[in-house]
Structure 1
Amino acid sequence: MGERVVRDGERRRRRPTKGGTVLSAQLIVETALRLIQEHGAAALTVRRLGAALGADPSALYRYFRDTDDLLLAIADELIGRTLCTWEASGDWRADLRSLGLAIHAGYQAHPQAALLTCARVTGRANELRSVETILGVLRGAGFPDAEAVRIYHVFVDQALSFAALDAHVLTLPRELREAERRAWPEVYGAVAADAHPHVASCAPLLVAEMSRSAYPAALDMVLASAAGRLGFLRGAG
Protein backbone atom coordinates (compact mmCIF):
# COMPACT_ATOMS: atom_id res chain seq x y z
CA MET A 1 0.00 0.00 0.00
CA GLY A 2 1.79 3.14 -1.14
CA GLU A 3 1.17 6.79 -0.39
CA ARG A 4 -2.16 7.85 -1.80
CA VAL A 5 -4.33 10.53 -0.28
CA VAL A 6 -8.07 10.36 -0.83
CA ARG A 7 -10.26 13.34 0.01
CA ASP A 8 -12.30 12.90 3.19
CA GLY A 9 -15.56 13.17 1.33
CA GLU A 10 -14.64 10.17 -0.80
CA ARG A 11 -13.69 7.86 2.05
CA ARG A 12 -17.03 6.12 2.63
CA ARG A 13 -18.23 3.41 0.30
CA ARG A 14 -22.00 3.14 0.45
CA ARG A 15 -22.44 0.39 -2.15
CA PRO A 16 -21.71 -3.25 -1.29
CA THR A 17 -18.55 -4.79 -2.72
CA LYS A 18 -18.76 -7.45 -5.41
CA GLY A 19 -18.84 -9.95 -2.55
CA GLY A 20 -21.87 -8.26 -1.00
CA THR A 21 -19.94 -6.60 1.87
CA VAL A 22 -20.47 -2.98 2.84
CA LEU A 23 -16.99 -1.70 3.68
CA SER A 24 -16.22 0.37 6.75
CA ALA A 25 -13.02 1.38 8.53
CA GLN A 26 -13.99 -0.87 11.45
CA LEU A 27 -14.53 -3.90 9.21
CA ILE A 28 -11.17 -3.34 7.53
CA VAL A 29 -9.39 -3.07 10.88
CA GLU A 30 -11.05 -6.24 12.21
CA THR A 31 -10.21 -8.13 9.02
CA ALA A 32 -6.61 -6.91 9.12
CA LEU A 33 -6.30 -8.05 12.74
CA ARG A 34 -7.52 -11.52 11.80
CA LEU A 35 -5.15 -11.77 8.85
CA ILE A 36 -2.18 -10.58 10.91
CA GLN A 37 -3.01 -13.17 13.54
CA GLU A 38 -3.02 -15.88 10.86
CA HIS A 39 -0.16 -14.74 8.65
CA GLY A 40 1.88 -12.11 10.52
CA ALA A 41 3.06 -8.82 9.06
CA ALA A 42 3.01 -10.25 5.53
CA ALA A 43 -0.79 -10.11 5.65
CA LEU A 44 -0.84 -6.31 5.75
CA THR A 45 -1.19 -5.70 2.00
CA VAL A 46 -4.09 -4.28 0.02
CA ARG A 47 -4.13 -7.40 -2.12
CA ARG A 48 -4.65 -9.75 0.82
CA LEU A 49 -7.12 -7.42 2.50
CA GLY A 50 -9.06 -6.88 -0.69
CA ALA A 51 -9.30 -10.63 -1.25
CA ALA A 52 -10.43 -11.25 2.34
CA LEU A 53 -13.07 -8.52 2.09
CA GLY A 54 -14.22 -9.44 -1.40
CA ALA A 55 -13.41 -5.92 -2.52
CA ASP A 56 -11.21 -4.26 -5.10
CA PRO A 57 -7.95 -3.43 -3.25
CA SER A 58 -8.21 0.20 -4.38
CA ALA A 59 -11.40 0.57 -2.31
CA LEU A 60 -9.30 0.46 0.86
CA TYR A 61 -7.80 3.83 -0.02
CA ARG A 62 -11.19 5.37 0.68
CA TYR A 63 -10.57 4.63 4.37
CA PHE A 64 -6.79 4.57 4.90
CA ARG A 65 -4.00 6.48 3.19
CA ASP A 66 -1.58 3.55 3.29
CA THR A 67 -0.69 0.48 5.35
CA ASP A 68 0.91 2.57 8.07
CA ASP A 69 -2.32 4.53 8.48
CA LEU A 70 -4.13 1.20 8.81
CA LEU A 71 -1.52 -0.07 11.27
CA LEU A 72 -2.11 2.94 13.51
CA ALA A 73 -5.84 2.26 13.37
CA ILE A 74 -5.15 -1.35 14.42
CA ALA A 75 -2.99 -0.11 17.31
CA ASP A 76 -5.76 2.22 18.43
CA GLU A 77 -8.32 -0.58 18.16
CA LEU A 78 -6.29 -2.75 20.55
CA ILE A 79 -6.07 0.14 23.02
CA GLY A 80 -9.82 0.68 22.77
CA ARG A 81 -10.54 -2.99 23.46
CA THR A 82 -8.49 -2.78 26.65
CA LEU A 83 -10.37 0.28 27.85
CA CYS A 84 -13.71 -1.42 27.18
CA THR A 85 -12.86 -4.27 29.56
CA TRP A 86 -11.52 -2.09 32.40
CA GLU A 87 -13.44 -0.43 35.21
CA ALA A 88 -12.08 1.97 37.82
CA SER A 89 -12.52 1.12 41.50
CA GLY A 90 -11.31 4.41 42.98
CA ASP A 91 -8.18 2.84 44.48
CA TRP A 92 -5.39 4.29 42.32
CA ARG A 93 -2.93 1.46 42.90
CA ALA A 94 -5.50 -1.28 42.27
CA ASP A 95 -6.77 0.59 39.23
CA LEU A 96 -3.35 0.91 37.62
CA ARG A 97 -2.58 -2.73 38.38
CA SER A 98 -5.79 -3.95 36.77
CA LEU A 99 -5.31 -1.64 33.80
CA GLY A 100 -1.71 -2.75 33.30
CA LEU A 101 -2.73 -6.40 33.39
CA ALA A 102 -5.56 -5.68 30.96
CA ILE A 103 -3.15 -3.98 28.54
CA HIS A 104 -0.76 -6.91 28.72
CA ALA A 105 -3.54 -9.48 28.27
CA GLY A 106 -5.02 -7.57 25.35
CA TYR A 107 -1.78 -7.66 23.42
CA GLN A 108 -1.17 -11.33 24.30
CA ALA A 109 -4.50 -12.10 22.64
CA HIS A 110 -3.08 -10.64 19.42
CA PRO A 111 0.66 -11.34 19.61
CA GLN A 112 1.41 -10.83 15.92
CA ALA A 113 -0.31 -7.45 15.98
CA ALA A 114 1.41 -6.60 19.26
CA LEU A 115 4.82 -6.93 17.64
CA LEU A 116 3.75 -4.47 14.95
CA THR A 117 2.02 -1.90 17.16
CA CYS A 118 3.49 -1.78 20.68
CA ALA A 119 6.09 0.84 19.77
CA ARG A 120 3.72 3.10 17.84
CA VAL A 121 2.06 6.35 18.95
CA THR A 122 -1.34 6.58 17.27
CA GLY A 123 -2.46 10.05 18.33
CA ARG A 124 -6.02 8.76 17.93
CA ALA A 125 -9.15 8.69 20.04
CA ASN A 126 -8.53 5.54 22.09
CA GLU A 127 -4.91 6.38 22.81
CA LEU A 128 -5.90 9.88 23.90
CA ARG A 129 -8.58 8.37 26.14
CA SER A 130 -6.00 6.01 27.61
CA VAL A 131 -3.56 8.81 28.41
CA GLU A 132 -6.37 10.87 29.91
CA THR A 133 -7.51 7.92 32.04
CA ILE A 134 -4.09 7.05 33.44
CA LEU A 135 -3.15 10.66 34.17
CA GLY A 136 -6.55 11.11 35.82
CA VAL A 137 -5.90 8.15 38.12
CA LEU A 138 -2.49 9.48 39.08
CA ARG A 139 -3.54 13.10 39.58
CA GLY A 140 -6.60 11.94 41.49
CA ALA A 141 -4.29 10.00 43.82
CA GLY A 142 -2.46 13.22 44.65
CA PHE A 143 0.64 13.01 42.48
CA PRO A 144 1.87 16.42 41.29
CA ASP A 145 1.70 16.81 37.53
CA ALA A 146 5.41 16.23 36.90
CA GLU A 147 5.33 13.06 39.00
CA ALA A 148 2.11 11.90 37.33
CA VAL A 149 3.65 12.26 33.87
CA ARG A 150 6.86 10.49 34.88
CA ILE A 151 4.97 7.56 36.41
CA TYR A 152 2.64 7.44 33.41
CA HIS A 153 5.68 7.15 31.15
CA VAL A 154 7.20 4.32 33.17
CA PHE A 155 3.86 2.53 33.57
CA VAL A 156 2.97 2.57 29.88
CA ASP A 157 6.43 1.77 28.56
CA GLN A 158 6.74 -1.12 31.00
CA ALA A 159 3.37 -2.56 29.96
CA LEU A 160 4.14 -2.25 26.25
CA SER A 161 7.67 -3.59 26.61
CA PHE A 162 6.50 -6.71 28.39
CA ALA A 163 3.61 -7.03 25.96
CA ALA A 164 6.06 -7.06 23.05
CA LEU A 165 8.50 -9.40 24.81
CA ASP A 166 5.84 -11.93 25.75
CA ALA A 167 4.14 -11.60 22.37
CA HIS A 168 7.43 -12.49 20.69
CA VAL A 169 7.55 -15.74 22.66
CA LEU A 170 3.99 -16.55 21.59
CA THR A 171 4.86 -16.05 17.92
CA LEU A 172 7.75 -18.51 17.98
CA PRO A 173 7.12 -21.87 16.33
CA ARG A 174 5.80 -24.41 18.82
CA GLU A 175 8.96 -26.53 18.73
CA LEU A 176 11.12 -23.51 19.63
CA ARG A 177 8.84 -22.53 22.49
CA GLU A 178 8.98 -26.07 23.79
CA ALA A 179 12.79 -26.16 23.50
CA GLU A 180 13.07 -22.95 25.51
CA ARG A 181 10.67 -24.26 28.14
CA ARG A 182 12.71 -27.46 28.52
CA ALA A 183 15.98 -25.53 28.85
CA TRP A 184 15.14 -24.38 32.37
CA PRO A 185 14.62 -27.79 33.99
CA GLU A 186 17.03 -29.69 31.74
CA VAL A 187 19.94 -27.21 31.75
CA TYR A 188 19.56 -24.87 34.70
CA GLY A 189 17.94 -27.50 36.87
CA ALA A 190 20.89 -29.83 36.39
CA VAL A 191 23.95 -27.58 36.76
CA ALA A 192 26.78 -28.64 39.01
CA ALA A 193 26.91 -26.81 42.34
CA ASP A 194 30.68 -26.53 42.26
CA ALA A 195 30.61 -24.74 38.90
CA HIS A 196 27.50 -22.56 39.38
CA PRO A 197 26.62 -22.56 43.08
CA HIS A 198 24.07 -19.75 42.93
CA VAL A 199 22.19 -21.23 39.99
CA ALA A 200 22.23 -24.69 41.57
CA SER A 201 20.90 -23.34 44.84
CA CYS A 202 18.07 -21.47 43.14
CA ALA A 203 17.38 -24.02 40.41
CA PRO A 204 13.90 -25.18 41.58
CA LEU A 205 12.80 -21.57 42.01
CA LEU A 206 14.22 -20.62 38.62
CA VAL A 207 12.40 -23.46 36.90
CA ALA A 208 9.10 -22.40 38.46
CA GLU A 209 9.58 -18.66 37.99
CA MET A 210 10.86 -18.60 34.42
CA SER A 211 7.85 -20.47 33.10
CA ARG A 212 5.65 -17.39 33.47
CA SER A 213 5.71 -13.74 32.51
CA ALA A 214 7.56 -11.39 34.86
CA TYR A 215 5.16 -8.57 34.06
CA PRO A 216 2.83 -8.87 37.09
CA ALA A 217 5.81 -8.84 39.48
CA ALA A 218 7.48 -5.97 37.62
CA LEU A 219 4.22 -4.02 37.64
CA ASP A 220 3.88 -4.51 41.40
CA MET A 221 7.42 -3.21 41.87
CA VAL A 222 6.67 -0.04 39.91
CA LEU A 223 3.44 0.56 41.80
CA ALA A 224 5.14 -0.04 45.14
CA SER A 225 7.79 2.48 44.18
CA ALA A 226 5.12 4.97 43.13
CA ALA A 227 3.26 4.46 46.41
CA GLY A 228 6.47 5.07 48.33
CA ARG A 229 7.05 8.23 46.37
CA LEU A 230 3.53 9.44 47.07
CA GLY A 231 3.99 8.78 50.78
CA PHE A 232 7.22 10.78 50.74
CA LEU A 233 5.58 13.70 48.93
CA ARG A 234 2.71 13.76 51.41
CA GLY A 235 5.14 13.65 54.33
CA ALA A 236 7.24 16.42 52.82
CA GLY A 237 4.17 18.51 52.28
Structure 2
Amino acid sequence: MADGRIPAERRRRKPTKSGVVLSEELIVDCALRLVGQHGPDALSVRRLGAAIGCDPSAVYRYFHDADDLLLALADRLIGDAQRGFEPGDDWVAGLREMARRIHRGYRAHPRVAAMAAYRVTRRLHEFRAVETGIGLLRRAGFAEADAVRHYAAFIDTVLGHAALDAAHLALAPERRASDDAAWASVYQSLPAAEYPELAAVREELPLMAGSSFDVALELVLSALVARAPGATGASGESSSAGRAD
Protein backbone atom coordinates (compact mmCIF):
# COMPACT_ATOMS: atom_id res chain seq x y z
CA MET A 1 0.00 0.00 0.00
CA ALA A 2 1.09 3.59 -0.61
CA ASP A 3 1.38 4.44 3.09
CA GLY A 4 3.10 1.19 4.06
CA ARG A 5 0.15 -0.08 6.08
CA ILE A 6 -0.57 -3.79 6.42
CA PRO A 7 -3.36 -4.87 3.99
CA ALA A 8 -6.70 -5.56 5.69
CA GLU A 9 -6.82 -9.15 4.46
CA ARG A 10 -3.72 -10.01 6.50
CA ARG A 11 -5.21 -8.87 9.80
CA ARG A 12 -6.31 -11.36 12.41
CA ARG A 13 -10.02 -11.89 12.92
CA LYS A 14 -9.95 -14.67 15.51
CA PRO A 15 -9.82 -14.00 19.27
CA THR A 16 -6.48 -14.37 21.08
CA LYS A 17 -5.91 -16.97 23.77
CA SER A 18 -7.23 -14.45 26.30
CA GLY A 19 -10.42 -13.98 24.28
CA VAL A 20 -9.50 -10.55 22.92
CA VAL A 21 -10.05 -9.80 19.24
CA LEU A 22 -6.96 -8.02 17.93
CA SER A 23 -7.24 -4.71 16.15
CA GLU A 24 -4.86 -1.90 15.29
CA GLU A 25 -6.62 0.31 17.85
CA LEU A 26 -6.22 -2.28 20.61
CA ILE A 27 -2.52 -2.72 19.89
CA VAL A 28 -1.91 1.04 19.85
CA ASP A 29 -3.84 1.45 23.11
CA CYS A 30 -1.73 -1.23 24.76
CA ALA A 31 1.52 0.21 23.39
CA LEU A 32 0.65 3.70 24.68
CA ARG A 33 0.01 2.25 28.11
CA LEU A 34 3.21 0.18 28.15
CA VAL A 35 5.45 3.03 27.03
CA GLY A 36 3.77 5.40 29.47
CA GLN A 37 4.41 3.01 32.34
CA HIS A 38 7.80 1.56 31.43
CA GLY A 39 9.43 3.85 28.87
CA PRO A 40 10.76 3.30 25.33
CA ASP A 41 12.11 -0.19 26.02
CA ALA A 42 8.53 -1.40 26.44
CA LEU A 43 7.85 -0.87 22.74
CA SER A 44 8.58 -4.40 21.60
CA VAL A 45 6.44 -6.98 19.88
CA ARG A 46 7.30 -9.52 22.57
CA ARG A 47 6.09 -7.31 25.42
CA LEU A 48 3.00 -6.31 23.48
CA GLY A 49 2.10 -9.94 22.86
CA ALA A 50 2.50 -10.74 26.55
CA ALA A 51 0.37 -7.76 27.60
CA ILE A 52 -2.42 -8.49 25.13
CA GLY A 53 -2.30 -12.25 25.58
CA CYS A 54 -1.45 -13.22 22.02
CA ASP A 55 1.44 -14.73 20.14
CA PRO A 56 3.82 -11.84 19.27
CA SER A 57 3.73 -12.90 15.62
CA ALA A 58 0.06 -11.84 15.49
CA VAL A 59 1.11 -8.21 15.94
CA TYR A 60 2.92 -8.42 12.59
CA ARG A 61 -0.45 -8.79 10.92
CA TYR A 62 -1.00 -5.12 11.76
CA PHE A 63 2.49 -3.59 11.90
CA HIS A 64 5.65 -4.40 9.98
CA ASP A 65 7.88 -3.89 13.02
CA ALA A 66 8.29 -1.82 16.19
CA ASP A 67 9.11 1.31 14.19
CA ASP A 68 5.90 0.96 12.20
CA LEU A 69 4.06 0.74 15.51
CA LEU A 70 5.86 3.84 16.79
CA LEU A 71 4.59 5.78 13.77
CA ALA A 72 1.07 4.63 14.59
CA LEU A 73 1.50 5.87 18.17
CA ALA A 74 2.70 9.24 16.88
CA ASP A 75 -0.29 9.46 14.58
CA ARG A 76 -2.62 8.61 17.45
CA LEU A 77 -1.27 11.57 19.43
CA ILE A 78 -1.93 13.85 16.46
CA GLY A 79 -5.43 12.47 16.01
CA ASP A 80 -6.33 12.78 19.68
CA ALA A 81 -5.02 16.35 19.76
CA GLN A 82 -7.00 17.43 16.70
CA ARG A 83 -10.26 15.63 17.51
CA GLY A 84 -13.16 18.07 17.18
CA PHE A 85 -10.92 20.89 15.94
CA GLU A 86 -12.71 23.04 13.36
CA PRO A 87 -10.87 26.31 12.72
CA GLY A 88 -13.00 29.38 12.15
CA ASP A 89 -12.45 32.40 9.94
CA ASP A 90 -9.48 33.76 11.93
CA TRP A 91 -6.44 31.93 10.57
CA VAL A 92 -4.19 33.14 13.38
CA ALA A 93 -6.58 31.86 16.03
CA GLY A 94 -6.78 28.59 14.11
CA LEU A 95 -3.02 28.11 14.09
CA ARG A 96 -2.81 29.05 17.77
CA GLU A 97 -5.48 26.52 18.75
CA MET A 98 -3.89 23.84 16.58
CA ALA A 99 -0.51 24.42 18.21
CA ARG A 100 -1.88 24.36 21.73
CA ARG A 101 -3.79 21.15 21.08
CA ILE A 102 -0.65 19.42 19.82
CA HIS A 103 1.39 20.69 22.76
CA ARG A 104 -1.21 19.48 25.29
CA GLY A 105 -1.51 16.14 23.55
CA TYR A 106 2.22 15.49 23.60
CA ARG A 107 2.49 16.50 27.25
CA ALA A 108 -0.25 13.98 28.06
CA HIS A 109 1.99 11.17 26.72
CA PRO A 110 5.49 12.50 27.37
CA ARG A 111 7.40 9.26 26.92
CA VAL A 112 5.83 8.57 23.55
CA ALA A 113 6.17 12.20 22.49
CA ALA A 114 9.87 12.26 23.30
CA MET A 115 10.32 9.27 20.97
CA ALA A 116 8.03 10.31 18.16
CA ALA A 117 7.69 14.09 17.85
CA TYR A 118 10.29 14.28 15.09
CA ARG A 119 8.89 11.42 12.97
CA VAL A 120 6.76 11.66 9.82
CA THR A 121 3.87 9.27 10.40
CA ARG A 122 2.51 9.29 6.80
CA ARG A 123 -0.87 8.33 8.22
CA LEU A 124 -4.40 9.70 8.21
CA HIS A 125 -4.27 12.05 11.21
CA GLU A 126 -1.01 13.62 10.09
CA PHE A 127 -2.42 14.03 6.56
CA ARG A 128 -5.39 15.90 7.98
CA ALA A 129 -3.27 18.07 10.28
CA VAL A 130 -0.96 19.13 7.45
CA GLU A 131 -3.98 19.78 5.25
CA THR A 132 -5.49 21.98 7.95
CA GLY A 133 -2.30 23.91 8.71
CA ILE A 134 -1.41 24.65 5.11
CA GLY A 135 -5.03 25.53 4.44
CA LEU A 136 -4.97 28.13 7.21
CA LEU A 137 -1.86 29.73 5.75
CA ARG A 138 -3.32 29.77 2.26
CA ARG A 139 -6.40 31.42 3.77
CA ALA A 140 -4.03 34.11 5.04
CA GLY A 141 -3.09 34.82 1.43
CA PHE A 142 0.30 33.13 1.26
CA ALA A 143 1.35 31.70 -2.10
CA GLU A 144 1.72 27.93 -2.36
CA ALA A 145 5.48 27.71 -1.74
CA ASP A 146 5.35 30.24 1.10
CA ALA A 147 2.42 28.43 2.73
CA VAL A 148 4.40 25.19 2.76
CA ARG A 149 7.63 26.79 4.00
CA HIS A 150 5.87 28.76 6.72
CA TYR A 151 3.87 25.74 7.83
CA ALA A 152 7.10 23.75 8.15
CA ALA A 153 8.59 26.48 10.35
CA PHE A 154 5.40 26.73 12.41
CA ILE A 155 4.92 23.01 13.02
CA ASP A 156 8.63 22.39 13.67
CA THR A 157 8.51 25.07 16.35
CA VAL A 158 5.42 23.49 17.90
CA LEU A 159 6.74 19.93 17.77
CA GLY A 160 10.20 20.95 18.93
CA HIS A 161 8.80 22.59 22.05
CA ALA A 162 6.32 19.75 22.56
CA ALA A 163 9.17 17.22 22.43
CA LEU A 164 11.35 19.31 24.75
CA ASP A 165 8.60 19.74 27.32
CA ALA A 166 7.61 16.08 27.00
CA ALA A 167 11.21 14.98 27.59
CA HIS A 168 11.29 17.22 30.67
CA LEU A 169 8.11 15.63 31.99
CA ALA A 170 9.48 12.15 31.27
CA LEU A 171 12.40 12.74 33.65
CA ALA A 172 12.27 11.22 37.09
CA PRO A 173 10.58 13.76 39.40
CA GLU A 174 13.71 14.36 41.45
CA ARG A 175 15.80 15.09 38.33
CA ARG A 176 13.12 17.39 36.94
CA ALA A 177 12.97 19.31 40.22
CA SER A 178 16.76 19.54 40.37
CA ASP A 179 17.00 20.94 36.84
CA ASP A 180 14.28 23.52 37.51
CA ALA A 181 15.82 24.57 40.81
CA ALA A 182 19.26 25.07 39.25
CA TRP A 183 18.25 28.43 37.76
CA ALA A 184 17.80 29.81 41.27
CA SER A 185 20.20 27.72 43.35
CA VAL A 186 23.14 27.73 40.93
CA TYR A 187 22.74 30.42 38.29
CA GLN A 188 21.69 33.16 40.70
CA SER A 189 24.84 32.57 42.76
CA LEU A 190 27.35 32.89 39.91
CA PRO A 191 29.94 35.67 40.48
CA ALA A 192 28.99 38.97 38.85
CA ALA A 193 32.57 39.74 37.91
CA GLU A 194 32.73 36.65 35.72
CA TYR A 195 29.12 36.62 34.48
CA PRO A 196 27.97 40.26 34.39
CA GLU A 197 25.03 39.67 32.03
CA LEU A 198 23.61 36.92 34.21
CA ALA A 199 24.10 39.09 37.29
CA ALA A 200 22.13 41.90 35.63
CA VAL A 201 19.10 39.61 35.25
CA ARG A 202 19.69 37.56 38.38
CA GLU A 203 16.18 37.97 39.76
CA GLU A 204 14.59 36.87 36.49
CA LEU A 205 16.65 33.73 35.93
CA PRO A 206 14.08 31.36 37.54
CA LEU A 207 11.91 32.10 34.49
CA MET A 208 14.26 29.80 32.60
CA ALA A 209 12.70 26.86 34.44
CA GLY A 210 9.39 27.40 32.64
CA SER A 211 8.39 26.21 29.22
CA SER A 212 8.98 28.79 26.52
CA PHE A 213 6.29 27.28 24.30
CA ASP A 214 3.72 30.09 24.64
CA VAL A 215 6.30 32.80 24.03
CA ALA A 216 7.78 30.98 21.02
CA LEU A 217 4.32 30.35 19.58
CA GLU A 218 3.34 34.02 19.80
CA LEU A 219 6.65 35.07 18.22
CA VAL A 220 6.04 32.75 15.27
CA LEU A 221 2.44 33.88 14.88
CA SER A 222 3.48 37.55 15.04
CA ALA A 223 6.05 36.92 12.31
CA LEU A 224 3.44 35.22 10.13
CA VAL A 225 1.01 38.10 10.63
CA ALA A 226 3.71 40.58 9.64
CA ARG A 227 4.46 38.62 6.46
CA ALA A 228 0.88 37.80 5.50
CA PRO A 229 -0.47 39.57 2.41
CA GLY A 230 -2.81 42.22 3.76
CA ALA A 231 -1.88 41.31 7.37
CA THR A 232 -5.48 40.36 8.17
CA GLY A 233 -6.95 37.86 10.58
CA ALA A 234 -4.58 38.73 13.41
CA SER A 235 -6.09 37.96 16.76
CA GLY A 236 -3.85 39.28 19.48
CA GLU A 237 -3.49 37.39 22.71
CA SER A 238 -1.15 37.90 25.58
CA SER A 239 1.06 34.98 26.49
CA SER A 240 2.90 33.93 29.61
CA ALA A 241 5.60 31.36 30.15
CA GLY A 242 5.41 28.71 32.79
CA ARG A 243 5.76 24.98 32.77
CA ALA A 244 2.53 23.50 34.11
CA ASP A 245 3.99 20.43 35.75
Same fold by TM-score greater than 0.5: yes
Q: Deviations over 1:11-32 (max 9, x none)?
A: 3322221111111000101110
> 1:188 maps to what in 2?
187
Tell me how far 1:211 sits from its aligned partner.
Answer: 2.4
Distance in structure 2 (CA, Å) of the matches to 1:232 and 1:41: 47
1:154-190 C-alpha deviation (Å, 9 max, x unpaired): 0111111111111111122222111111111112223
Identity %: 49
Q: Which moved more, 1:171-180 or 1:219-228?
A: 171-180
Q: Distance in 1 between matches of 2:66 and 2:31?
A: 10
- The aligned residue for residue 35 of structure 2 is 36
**Paired position in structure 1 for 2:223:** 225
Determine the structure 1 residue equivalent to 2:140.
141
Asked if 1 retains the 8 angstrom alpha-carbon contact of 2:28 and 2:73, the reply is yes
CA–CA distance in structure 2, aligned partners of residues 221 and 152 of structure 1? 14
AA matched with 1:224: S
Q: Contact (CA 8 Å) 1:85, 1:102: kept in 2 or not?
A: no
Alpha-carbon spacing, 1:219–1:233, altered in 2? closer, same or farther (3 Å): closer
Name the residue aligned to 2:214.
216
Q: Which residue of 1 aligns with 2:111?
A: 112
Q: Distance in 2 between matches of 1:6 and 1:148?
A: 29
Q: Distance in 1 between matches of 2:137 and 2:15?
A: 46
Q: What is the CA-CA distance between 1:9 and the residue it aligns to?
A: 5.1
Q: Which runs of 5+ in 1 are unaligned?
A: none
Residue 126 of structure 1 corresponds to which residue in structure 2? 125
TM-score (norm 1): 0.90
> Which residue of 2 is the match for residue 64 of structure 1?
63
2:169 maps to what in 1? 170
Structure that is richer in helix per residue: 1
For residues 184 and 213 of structure 1, the distance between their equivalents in structure 2, rounded to whole angstroms, comes to 13
C-alpha distance in structure 2 between counterparts of 1:20 and 1:171, whole Å: 34
List per-residue Cα deviations over 1:105-130 (Å, max 9, x = no partner): 11111111112211111111111101
Instruction: Report how many aligned residue pairs link the two structures.
Output: 229
Q: Do the aligned residues in 2 keep the contact of 1:10 with 1:62 (CA within 8 Å)? A: no
Cα offset for 1:48? 0.6
Segments of structure 2 that go 5 or more residues without pairing to the other structure are 233-245
Q: Distance in 2 between matches of 1:198 and 1:57?
A: 57
**Shift, 1:7, TM fit:** 7.2
Q: For residue 73 of structure 1, what is the aligned residue in structure 2?
A: 72
- Alpha-carbon RMSD: 2.0
Give how far 1:87 is off: 3.3
SS state at 1:210 partner = helix
Does the 8 Å CA contact 1:76/1:125 hold for their aligned counterparts?
Answer: yes
Contact 2:79 2:126 in 1 (8 A): yes
Following superposition, the deviation at residue 85 of structure 1 comes to 4.8
Distance 1:126 1:195 in 2: 51
The DSSP-based 3-state class of the residue aligned with 1:154 is helix
